[in-house]
Structure 1
Amino acid sequence: MIYIKNMVCPRCIEMVKHVFDQLDLQSKRIELGEVILDTDLTLSKKEELAEQLKVRGFELLEDQKSKQISQIKAIIVEQVHHSVKPIDTNFSTLISDKLAQEYSSLSKLFSSVEGVTIEKYILQQKVEKVKELLFYNEMSLSQIAYQLGYSSVAHLSAQFKKETGMTPSLFKKTRPNRKSIDSI
């Protein structure tokens, strides 16, 4: 298995698949942040893969800490941006279960490397998802609150305002620029 940084959406998966096809590399599965290979890579193929990924804004991850950070981010991005059903547990349990590690150690690692807590990263991702849904006027605020696991519209609005400096309704009216997911 190899880990790739900056894979944050289905288009990223398609682009990585394209790179693997171009390099004639066989994979069993490609998901956000990771690729399961059929065979081991030679050093020259690994270097060529790293270069082709870099040109497209991705990065091959080598050390264990970077891999874990990438996995944590992929779990969060997948749940917040790509899951159709609301999360039925808390993120700490989800992350801990998927990575089979204690959440406290993962949280310390994430904070030390990223400079923000996992909770802050989750909040940033949720706010970007709220912006997207408001921008495209796909759901009401109460539907968005439910979808993203907020206890109430008031809680969502308070966090949104704290993070962006404006209410969701003001955001909807002004439609300022949004950040790309991988820049968060």
Structure 2
Amino acid sequence: MLLYIKYMVSLRCKMAVKEELKKLGIHYVNVDLGTIEILEDITDLQREQLRESLMKSGLELLDDNRKIIIEKIKSVIIEMIHYSDELPKVNYSDYISEKLGYDYTYLANTFSEVKGITIQQFIIMNKIERIKELLLYNELNLTEISYLLHYSSVSHLSNQFKKITGLTPSYYKKLKKKRLKNLEDI
């Protein structure tokens, strides 16, 4: 049996869910971003207890099919951008459609209706967050980041970054250094 969880986007979330399942005595096969695969059907009482315990952690047990599809889309995108070593070589639309087993037009329409933004906008927002993360770690230069995240050029990455954040990537990086310097002065 599969259960779907909203806002489950990190390894810390997965650990929190596993802990709640253990407390409730619910045996699981797998806990992944946005999903829990359990061995047996759970009772209505167990479902309600799980719902309440997850809410305390800022997570939500989903029952609505449209919301479940949205969370699946978000999980695929987050996994693809934040946790994969390399982005897929195919179009994102083909990748998402193949991963979820739905026609992309259906997925895109459902996502837009429920979230009020397109899947492409959600992908861009996540790519910008990933760029910020990579800039802060200071392990890759902009050319390497651009290549890693499949931008056509450093210029394209920089323009998109500035459009979303209001800052250039280099200025964003300088702000980080300035914040660190200010912390050292305390």
Name the TM-score, length of structure 2 as normaliser.
Answer: 0.92
In structure 2, what residue type is equivalent to 1:62? D
Which residue of structure 1 aligns with residue 67 of structure 2? 66
Determine the structure 1 residue equivalent to 2:87: 86
Displacement after TM superposition at 1:94 (Å):
1.0
TM-fit CA distance, 1:86: 2.6
Letter matched to residue 86 of structure 1: L
CA contact (8 A) 1:110 1:118 kept: yes
1:60 & 1:105 partners in 2: Cα distance? 23
| Displacement of 1:154 | 1.0
| Structure 2 unaligned spans of 5+ | 180-186
Question: How many angstroms apart in 2 are the aligned matches of 1:22 and 1:94?
Answer: 36
Q: For residues 87 and 107 of structure 2, what CA distance do their matches in structure 1 show?
A: 23
Distance in 2 separating the partners of 1:106 and 1:86: 20
Where do 1:17-166 residues align within 5 Å? Answer: 17-166=18-167
Q: Which has the higher contact order (CA 8 A, sep 6+)?
A: 1
CA distance in 1 between partners of 2:59 and 2:30 (Å): 17
| Per-residue deviation, 1:87 | 2.0
Q: Distance in 2 between matches of 1:16 and 1:147?
A: 31
Which whole-Å deviations, capped at 9, do the CAs of 1:114-171 have from their partners, x for residues lacking one?
A: 0100000000000001001111212111111111111111111111011111110000
Deviations 1:58-85 (A, max 9, x none): 0000010000000000000001100012
The equivalent of 1:180 in structure 2 is none
* Range that drifts further, 145-154 or 74-83: 145-154
% identical equivalent positions: 43
Q: Which stretches of structure 1, 4 residues or more, deviate above 2 A after TM superposition? A: none
Deviation at 1:26, TM superposition (A): 0.5
Whole-angstrom distance in 2 between the partners of 1:142 and 1:167: 14
Q: Which residue of 1 aligns with 2:184?
A: none
RMSD value, Cα: 1.3
TM-score computed with the length of structure 1 as normaliser: 0.93
Which amino acid is 1:73 matched to?
K
